Amino acid sequence: MKPHVIHESEVPELALPGRHLRWVANADALEPQYLSASVIRVAPGEKVRPAHSHPNGEELIYIIRGTGRVLVDGDVSPVREGTLVLFRKGLVHMLQNTGEEEMKVVCFFAPSTNLENYKFDEGVDFPE
């Protein structure tokens, strides 16, 4: 059984389009039964690409550093440190860092997921 405590620096970081991601709670880290979690870093001006949805569950994100905007099912809203956003099951979404500092976000998924369970939508972007 995996330990009950882990530091994000102990988890490998993946370089993905628009962000760097660490799966801090999944089958490889902490082994939670009902959820998974990741920490992402988004550089200034970057978008988490492509837009995507989670057909088998939902995602809750918590902005712990930075400012930006989020696109959820066609609606755009500003986000900043302390903001929580719920991406309900099946809704297409995207995050962008519009600030001048790196954005850091904790992402919680229920039920547990991984990148193989994302549904990508290359044709969706923020409106101009």
Q: Is residue 93 part of a domain?
A: yes
| 35 within a domain of the structure (yes/no) | yes
Please check whether residue 3 lies inside any domain of the structure: no
Position 10 in a domain: no
CATH of the domain at 102: 2.60.120.10
Q: Tell me, what's the pLDDT at 128?
A: 81
Domain containing 81 equals 21-121
> Quick one: pLDDT at residue 77?
98
Percent pLDDT > 70 in the chain is: 98
pLDDT in tens, 39-53: 999 999 999 999 999
Residue 8 lies in a domain: no
Q: How many structural domains compose the chain?
A: 1
Is 81 among the domain residues? yes
H-state helical runs in the chain: none
User: Does residue 1 surpass a pLDDT of 80?
Assistant: no
In a domain, 62, yes or no: yes
Mean pLDDT, rounded, for 65-71: 98
State residue 85's pLDDT score: 98
Does residue 26 lie in a domain region? Answer: yes
Supply the pLDDT for residue 99: 98
Question: DSSP letters along 49-109, please?
Answer: SSEEE-TTSEEEEEEEE-EEEEEETTEEEEEETT-EEEE-TT--EEEEE-SSS-EEEEEEE
